[in-house]
């Protein structure tokens, strides 16, 4: 029996296809059939790397239609395992995906908040990519946390806790691993259809009912302009809904860091602040907006506003934090450590370092002029902590979980000359003059009062 939604030509004989013909067809701007795309994905393990590279470049230059992108996404989804859930969970299995940014710790409080609302969240996350931090890396800063959880072990965690945050299993969308590696070395990473297929195929393989997308734009992410972010969001929403996943995207600002911290252990601490009903306003806003819209499209809230209020309640009454603590234990953290971490008074900075790794040195930088903070360059700050060890500057490098920064001001804050604006946590001392210069250049101060821009700019739904 054919999978639902698959276009089938009963007269089509896939054995007649040849890779050079498919490459030439796309090179000349023609539309590929579903069967040609399926054949390519099925045969990819035996296709020559040069042909895969040529095909990717043809797709990059000529693009893919909505139908072609959906067909590629579906074929990639079916290239490996597809997760299966109990029938009684129908409508409850949900997830979130972010296109990445500096200080993007949203998944850590969002998954348990959704679980506290009765949802099932099998969140399969990634590691840091370039200057953007990875959810798995953040969680691995917690002693004992295990990200390598097999499908059979995810089920009891979801039954008991309601959420898990794990790494991609070896046979989940294997086609994406091959295509992504080839895109990286053929300068085709930025293709909108290929980005869409890569993201949505993995979420479709999770077999989720509903999906919320945090599609970012600005200096601290890969889509620099709002229009680039909008185009990606529309592509993701269109294809995901075409595959039967109820999907909405929030177009969010990533010019300045989210919250006050970046760096793995520091972000865990700030995420727990959020779970305790405190922490930076913009972090709570994003968690509640994303969760609220997801509850609405899942049919668990009468409106986005009702959904937002429900998520806020889980943060305020401690139920979300209790789910996070239970998830930590279910994924390998000792009960005593999970309790100490989640019950710490994180407004008292020293409490968190009883559990998490602490950097040897802290350096505060001071404002060099007075005025109002006009902007804080997320990319400039992110690149510095990457070089200090908070991320992988080369593939396979170790991460220093204790490295990062804490902002002491936000856009719109008033500063005096000599007032501290950032605390840097590092294990090499002193900070280099180059790093200090780049950090100072990332802070723009002017005489005009400014209002911080909203984090959420648009809500993008299916047409």
What is the enclosing helix (H) or strand (E) of 336?
A: helix 335-343
Residues ≥6 apart with Cβ < 8 Å to 66: 238, 239, 242
Closest CA to 459 of 214, 195, 285: 214
Contact yes or no for 22/64 (Cβ under 8 A): no
- If one counts every other C-beta atom within 10 angstroms of the C-beta of residue 309, the result is 14
Query: In Å, how far are 4, 224, 388 from 101, measured between CA atoms?
Result: 35, 11, 17
Tokens of 315: 């943060």
Residues ≥6 apart with Cβ < 8 Å to 326: 160, 161
Which runs of consecutive H residues, i.e. helices, occur in 133-223? 135-139, 151-160, 174-185, 192-205
Closest CA to 173 of 39, 81, 49: 81
Active site residues: 97, 176, 183, 198, 202
Cα(79)–Cα(272) distance, rounded to whole angstroms? 37
Q: How many residues does the chain have?
A: 463
What is the enclosing helix (H) or strand (E) of 89?
A: none
Tokens of 236: 């993701």
Tokens of 79: 């290239």
Q: For the residues of 256-284, what is the DSSP string, one character each?
A: S-SSSEESHHHHHHHHHHHHTT-S-HHHH
Angle formed by the axes of helices 264-275 and 335-343, nearest 10°: 70
Long-range contacts of 305-310 (CB under 8 A, 24+ apart): 310/117
3-class state of residue 406 by DSSP? strand
In angstroms, how far is CA 223 from the centroid of its own chain? Answer: 14
DSSP tag of 173 = S
């Amino acid at each position: 029996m054919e999978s639902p939604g698959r276009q089938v030509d009963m007269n089509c004989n896939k054995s007649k296809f040849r890779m050079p013909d498919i490459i030439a067809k796309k090179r000349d701007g023609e539309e590929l059939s579903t069967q040609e795309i399926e054949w390519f994905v099925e045969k990819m393990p035996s296709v020559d790397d040069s042909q895969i590279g040529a095909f990717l470049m043809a797709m990059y230059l000529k693009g893919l239609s909505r139908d072609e992108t959906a067909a590629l996404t579906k074929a990639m989804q079916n290239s490996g395992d597809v997760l299966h859930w109990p029938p009684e969970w129908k409508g409850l299995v949900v997830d979130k995906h972010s296109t990445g940014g500096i200080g993007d710790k949203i998944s850590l409080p969002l998954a348990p908040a959704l679980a506290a609302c009765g949802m099932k969240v099998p969140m399969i996350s990634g590691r840091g990519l370039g200057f953007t931090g990875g959810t798995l890396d953040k969680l691995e800063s917690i002693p004992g946390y295990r990200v390598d959880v097999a499908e059979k072990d995810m089920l009891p965690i979801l039954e008991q806790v309601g959420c898990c945050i794990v790494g991609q299993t070896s046979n989940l969308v294997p086609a994406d691993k091959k295509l992504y590696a080839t895109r990286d070395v053929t300068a085709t990473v930025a293709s909108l259809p290929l980005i869409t297929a890569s993201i949505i195929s993995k979420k479709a393989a999770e077999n989720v009912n509903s999906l919320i997308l945090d599609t970012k734009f600005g200096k601290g992410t890969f889509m620099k302009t709002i229009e680039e972010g909008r185009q990606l969001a529309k592509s993701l929403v269109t294809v995901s809904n075409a595959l039967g996943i109820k999907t909405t995207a929030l177009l969010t600002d990533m010019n300045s860091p989210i919250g006050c911290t970046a760096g793995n252990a520091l972000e865990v601490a700030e995420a727990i602040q959020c779970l305790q009903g405190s922490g930076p306003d913009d972090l709570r806003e994003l968690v509640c907006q994303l969760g609220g819209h997801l509850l609405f499209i899942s049919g668990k809230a009468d409106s986005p506003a009702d959904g937002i209020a429900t998520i806020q309640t889980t943060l305020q009454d401690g139920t979300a934090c209790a789910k996070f603590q239970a998830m930590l234990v279910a994924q390998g953290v000792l009960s005593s450590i999970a309790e100490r971490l989640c019950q710490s008074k994180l407004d008292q900075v020293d409490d968190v370092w009883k559990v998490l790794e602490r950097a040897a040195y802290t350096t505060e930088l001071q404002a060099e002029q007075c005025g109002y903070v006009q902007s804080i360059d997320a990319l400039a700050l992110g690149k510095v902590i990457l070089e200090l060890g908070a991320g992988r500057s080369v593939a396979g490098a170790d991460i220093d979980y204790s490295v990062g920064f804490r902002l002491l001001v936000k856009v719109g804050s008033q500063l005096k000359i000599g007032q501290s604006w950032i605390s840097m946590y590092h294990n090499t001392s002193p900070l280099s003059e180059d790093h200090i210069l780049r950090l100072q250049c990332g802070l723009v101060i002017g005489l005009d009062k400014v209002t911080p821009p909203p984090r959420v700019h648009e809500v993008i739904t299916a047409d």
